[in-house]
Structure formats: structure tokens, C-alpha cells
Homo-oligomer: A and B are copies of this chain.
């Protein structure tokens, strides 16, 4: 693991996710830019001293050289550092699990994409929301035509977490996410917009063709954009709206998607992630529950306990980690497995995410002009 030292909340979720299904051993790491802190923290996690490194290049070199070297690295650092770190490990032949967004710039994203392909290495991106069982059920149902052709999509990741200017205090995440150099000027799009974008693509199987966007700084004085409204044209001609916000006062986490087809629509909300709502032309609503009979294989595969036993955020993380473990083993053992559409996100999804952010920024800069968002990869 690179990153995730003292106070880095999300890294703890990564480590828990690794343990949850008992598919990973955390054996090496650089947990902080401060080698002393990093070393102490790693020892605290029970790692061997000789696998605690002062910085990531050294780790990539050393682990690549060991017979018992790491089989995959998990990168949980801030956005602007993903590129050099991921590159270092890829160069040394080590597969990567990377936090989202992939990078802050498209050229960096493409660089990782091409390098991973060239090296034929697994590169997973931690858009964990698409790993919830009922999101996988949704994706399967859309592909099985349960809604008819998709016509409209409404997706939002509108959280209230940074309604107040927490960055003025010592809220670590708020500080870096509102620093343009670290979180990106379009911070809310990098952080939450890319989740919404990936969720839309994952569930519908559609791409964003063009968009018209407005970025705003809602909390006065903040140095980054904290709200984004984006109108979408999708690859099949469907229309949509994406809303990303860190200032949606009072909303808990605010991730929600609605997909409207010719004959039915579906809705999934992160607040009750074990349910999926289907609405029919006749005005009736059906709620499917994780663990229920008759769900898709993709949903069953990531269900641990069963009907009426909620699984949550950490399980969604673990689903991704376990998917990646399966993929790593298949590859190691020479079992060919084409990455499925309803599986873990990869570096390609990361490129498309960064492309999306750049199109949003370009449209906003052009006063909301409809802007091409496609990329040939």
C-alpha cells in the first residue's frame, strides 16, 4: 500500500476491505511522505520492518526484486500523485489498485492506460459504488432489456459534507480537496462527479457523447468548484443530467441514479444500498432486496449473508478487492478471462473519467457550450 497513514480515513476502509474476505495480506508499504511516520505506522500495522520503505520508487524496485514480492499495490494517496506512483509500479511489473480519480490530467491518465496495456497488467480503479450487489443487479437488468431502451438518466452524487468551510479548520480531507493543486480546481467533479459518471456508464452501458456544464463555488471564499450541474447527451441518443456537489446541505452521501427506459425505470440510492427500485408503466413499483430469490448471478456473487442482512460500504470495497484477487489469480494461473462489463472498473474507466472532467471544465469555460466528451480508446 502506498499512502494511508495516520488520519487518512479511506485507507482504513481499504485495509478492512482486504481482510474482509481474507484474500489479501498487507505485507509492504509507504504510509506517509514522512519516512519516520511511515515506518512507525507500518510497524503498528504489524508489517515487517524490511518491507517498510521510505518512498514508493524504492518499494517498487525492491518488491519487484523479491521472490515473495507484492502481487498488487494499492495506491490511496491524493489525486495529483496517482500518476507517478502508479507508473513506478507498472514499470516494475506490479499490478495496481488505485483510488479514483485516476489522475488530474488526461495525458497522465492515457499514459497509465497505455503502460498498463503494454505491460499487460491489471489496473483496477476504486469506484466502489458499482460493486454493490444491487448496482450489479441494475446493470444486468438494463443489459437484459428489463427497461427497454434507455431514454433518460438522472444521476447525482450530491453530498453535504463540505457545506461549511471545513478547510479553515484542520479537517485533513477538506484541506486537500479544496486545494486546487491537489484536489483539482474542479475538485467536486474529480471526487464525486467521476463516481456519478462511472455509475451511469456502469449501469447503462452507455457513454457520454457531449455535455453542457456549469461549475460553481457555492461556499464563499472556497478555492475550488464545489458544485457542478451537467446536462448530458449519451451515446445512444438518450439525455441526462448529472449533479455533483459537496455543498448539498444535509444530504448524507447523496449518490443516486435513476434510469428511465421505454417500459420501466430503475432507481438506486446509496442510503439504502441493499434495495433496488423498479417502476413500471402501470404505476406500480417493485423493490428488489439483496439476497432475494431470483436475482442475477452478478448480484448473488457479491452477497455474503442473505436477505434482510444489510451489507454496506465496506462490503462494496471488499467486493472490488475480491474481484481483483480473482482476476490476479486467473492471470497468474494462465486462465484467460475477459474483463466483463459488470465487473471492477479499470484504468480505461479512469481515462474516461478524467476525459469527462476535462469536458466539464471546457464546457464551463465556454459558458456552458455543448462540448464533445468522447475519446477513442
With A154-B243, A369-B368 as known contacts, state yes or no: A293 contacts B282, CB within 8 Å: yes
Q: Which of A12, A294, A310 has the most CB of B within 10 A?
A: A310
Hey, which bits of chain A sit against chain B, CB under 8 A? 9, 12-13, 15-16, 19-22, 147, 151-152, 154, 159-161, 163-164, 212, 214, 216, 218, 227, 229, 231, 239-241, 243, 245, 247-254, 260-265, 270-274, 278-289, 291-294, 304-315, 367-370
With A152-B227, A231-B214 as known contacts, state yes or no: A147 contacts B249, CB within 8 Å: yes
Question: For A163, what are the chain B residues with a Cβ–Cβ distance below 8 Å?
Answer: 262, 281
The residue of chain B having its C-beta at the shortest distance from the C-beta of A15 within the complex is: B22
Question: For A291, what are the chain B residues with a Cβ–Cβ distance below 8 Å?
Answer: 252, 283
Question: For A147, what are the chain B residues with a Cβ–Cβ distance below 8 Å?
Answer: 249
Question: For A218, what are the chain B residues with a Cβ–Cβ distance below 8 Å?
Answer: 151-152, 239
Question: How far apart are A86's CB and chain B's nearest CB, in angstroms?
Answer: 25
The complex places the Cα of A289 from the Cα of B247 at a distance, in Å, of 18
Tell me if B265 and A251 are in contact (CB < 8 A). yes
The complex places the Cα of A22 from the Cα of B291 at a distance, in Å, of 27
The residue of chain B having its C-beta at the shortest distance from the C-beta of A272 within the complex is: B272
Question: For A260, what are the chain B residues with a Cβ–Cβ distance below 8 Å?
Answer: 160, 247-250
The residue of chain B having its C-beta at the shortest distance from the C-beta of A212 within the complex is: B368
Question: How far apart are A338's CB and chain B's nearest CB, in angstroms?
Answer: 29
The complex places the Cα of A279 from the Cα of B293 at a distance, in Å, of 13
Which of B161, B212, B286 lies in contact with A285, CB distance below 8 A?
A: B286
The residue of chain B having its C-beta at the shortest distance from the C-beta of A270 within the complex is: B308
The residue of chain B having its C-beta at the shortest distance from the C-beta of A12 within the complex is: B304
Question: For A307, what are the chain B residues with a Cβ–Cβ distance below 8 Å?
Answer: 161, 252-253, 283
With A163-B262, A308-B159 as known contacts, state yes or no: A279 contacts B239, CB within 8 Å: no
Question: For A274, what are the chain B residues with a Cβ–Cβ distance below 8 Å?
Answer: 312
Question: How far apart are A315's CB and chain B's nearest CB, in angstroms?
Answer: 7
